[in-house]
A = this chain, B = another copy of it.
Amino acid sequence: MPTTDSHRHEYLKPDGRKLWLYGRQPFQVGEIPSPDSVPVTAHPYLRWHPLRGEWVIYAAHRQNRTFLPPPDYNPLAPTREGGVPTELPQGGYDIAVFENRFPSLVPHPGEPPRLEGVVTAPGEGACEVVVFTQDPEASLGSLPIEHVALLIDVWADRTRELGRRDEITYVLPFENRGVEVGVTLHHPHGQIYAYSSLPPIQVRALEHARAHFARTGENLGLTLVNDEIAAGTRIVRENEAALSFVPPFARYTYETWLMPKRPVAFLSDLSPEERLGVAELLKDTLQRLDALFGVRMPYLMTLHQAPTDGTDYPEWPLRFEFYPALRAPGKLKFLAGTELGAGVFANDALPEDKARELREVQL
């Protein structure tokens, strides 16, 4: 663990999956449960898309979900005394991480099928679920700053552990929230995908960050943060350690980025003070998005750290990117022809106007 004021224990679930519990205080737990004792047998594999130059994951086992949950069953809540087993035990922990029972990528996928005319590869990697809190009614933005800071430790810890594996090249923590964006499980949680090759979006980000670094000698993140502080018009909030802003090239109406002021490649590179500063703005960003229209804003949050191949990435701009799904009250942003067919986003709103709205939200 990166900090001395938090606690972590590792467990094995009855079906063979791993579970990690984290607490701000020392804690004890009850029996370690699993919704199903049948071991996970997943053999995902990849097929190459020859016109996009991308791997596509095939995880057909995800359809074969044998376990039929009772109504109101919450697999992410602690198992109740005498109740149907969930994913988590009772106990005094704050945050839980476990290997996904329906993974798209796994540590030992086996050989992929051979297909005439199609390039295949093993679906090597990892998929984990991160439960943000034991409280099913909470949200990431409603948690105390110290709890959010612990989550930053958890992401740092899982990134370090997964990234240490030879076959893992990139670790992506994210949260997808809201029925509007397809989330059916409302207990506050996120996911972590770990990939065996650098994903396309990260390949391009690295290429552009590297070119900027070569040209200017400066980390692109530092340039962005300094430019935004100088311009002032797109800042949502600033503290000593971090900055949240609507990027000048926002693709989503209320797109918000959160960056530490000192460029780092990984969350684990943050000092305890910086970690708290980032946690404060993470909470602030989500509170503003919820307060903006007075409804829980559906969103995708992705955390972009550097590749985990063991080399240094002084050019990498660590950032959280938030893509809020609403562009106005009750109006969702849909990706259509120009976005999905050409890769060109069209935004009807100016980042400067939307940053002002977010800045002026009453919290």
Interface residues of A (CB under 8 A from B): 47-60, 62-63, 104, 115-118, 170, 172, 174-176, 181-182, 191, 193, 195, 199-202, 204-205, 207-209, 212, 220, 223-224, 227, 230-231, 247-251, 300, 302, 304, 317, 321, 323, 332, 334-338, 340-350
User: Is the Cβ of B249 less than 8 Å from the Cβ of A347?
Assistant: no
**Tally of this chain's copies:** 2
Separation of A277 and B317 alpha carbons in the complex (Å)? 51
User: Is the Cβ of B50 less than 8 Å from the Cβ of A341?
Assistant: no
Besides A53-B208, A56-B346, A193-B342, 4 more A-B contacts (Cβ < 8 Å) are A50-B249, A54-B345, A116-B231, A117-B227
Please give the distance in Å from A4's CB to the nearest CB on chain B.
31
User: Is the Cβ of A347 less than 8 Å from the Cβ of B208?
Assistant: no
User: Is the Cβ of A343 less than 8 Å from the Cβ of B201?
Assistant: yes
User: Is the Cβ of A348 less than 8 Å from the Cβ of B62?
Assistant: yes
User: Is the Cβ of B343 less than 8 Å from the Cβ of A249?
Assistant: no
A321 and chain B: residue at smallest CB distance? B341
Known: A176-B336, A201-B343, A302-B341. A63 touches B348 (CB 8 A): yes
User: Is the Cβ of B334 less than 8 Å from the Cβ of A181?
Assistant: yes
User: Is the Cβ of B51 less than 8 Å from the Cβ of A200?
Assistant: no
User: Is the Cβ of A341 less than 8 Å from the Cβ of B116?
Assistant: no
Q: Which of A201, A208, A323, A344 has the most CB of B within 10 A?
A: A344
User: Is the Cβ of A193 less than 8 Å from the Cβ of B338?
Assistant: yes
User: Is the Cβ of B57 less than 8 Å from the Cβ of A344?
Assistant: yes
Set B249, B304, B343: member contacting A47, Cβ < 8 A: B249
Separation of A182 and B209 alpha carbons in the complex (Å)? 34
Set of chain B residues within 8 Å of A249, measured between Cβ atoms: 47-50, 56, 118
A304 and chain B: residue at smallest CB distance? B341
Set of chain B residues within 8 Å of A205, measured between Cβ atoms: 51-52
Known: A59-B348, A176-B337, A336-B182. A248 touches B53 (CB 8 A): no
User: Is the Cβ of A118 less than 8 Å from the Cβ of B248?
Assistant: yes
Known: A117-B248, A248-B115. A342 touches B199 (CB 8 A): yes
Please give the distance in Å from A237's CB to the nearest CB on chain B.
19
A345 and chain B: residue at smallest CB distance? B56
Set B202, B323, B342: member contacting A172, Cβ < 8 A: B342
Set B209, B341, B343: member contacting A51, Cβ < 8 A: B209
Set of chain B residues within 8 Å of A118, measured between Cβ atoms: 248-249
Set B207, B337, B345: member contacting A302, Cβ < 8 A: B337
Known: A50-B220, A207-B53, A348-B59. A181 touches B336 (CB 8 A): yes
Set B116, B182, B342, B349: member contacting A202, Cβ < 8 A: B342
A227 and chain B: residue at smallest CB distance? B117
Known: A220-B50, A348-B59. A172 touches B341 (CB 8 A): yes
User: Is the Cβ of A344 less than 8 Å from the Cβ of B181?
Assistant: no
Set of chain B residues within 8 Å of A321, measured between Cβ atoms: 341
User: Is the Cβ of A195 less than 8 Å from the Cβ of B49?
Assistant: no
Please give the distance in Å from A147's CB to the nearest CB on chain B.
22
- Give 27 pairs: A residue, B residue, CB < 8 Å, sorted on A: A49-B247, A50-B220, A51-B205, A51-B317, A52-B205, A53-B204, A54-B345, A56-B345, A56-B347, A57-B347, A59-B346, A59-B347, A59-B348, A60-B348, A60-B349, A63-B348, A104-B338, A117-B230, A117-B231, A117-B248, A181-B336, A191-B337, A199-B343, A201-B342, A302-B337, A302-B341, A323-B340
Separation of A188 and B57 alpha carbons in the complex (Å)? 34
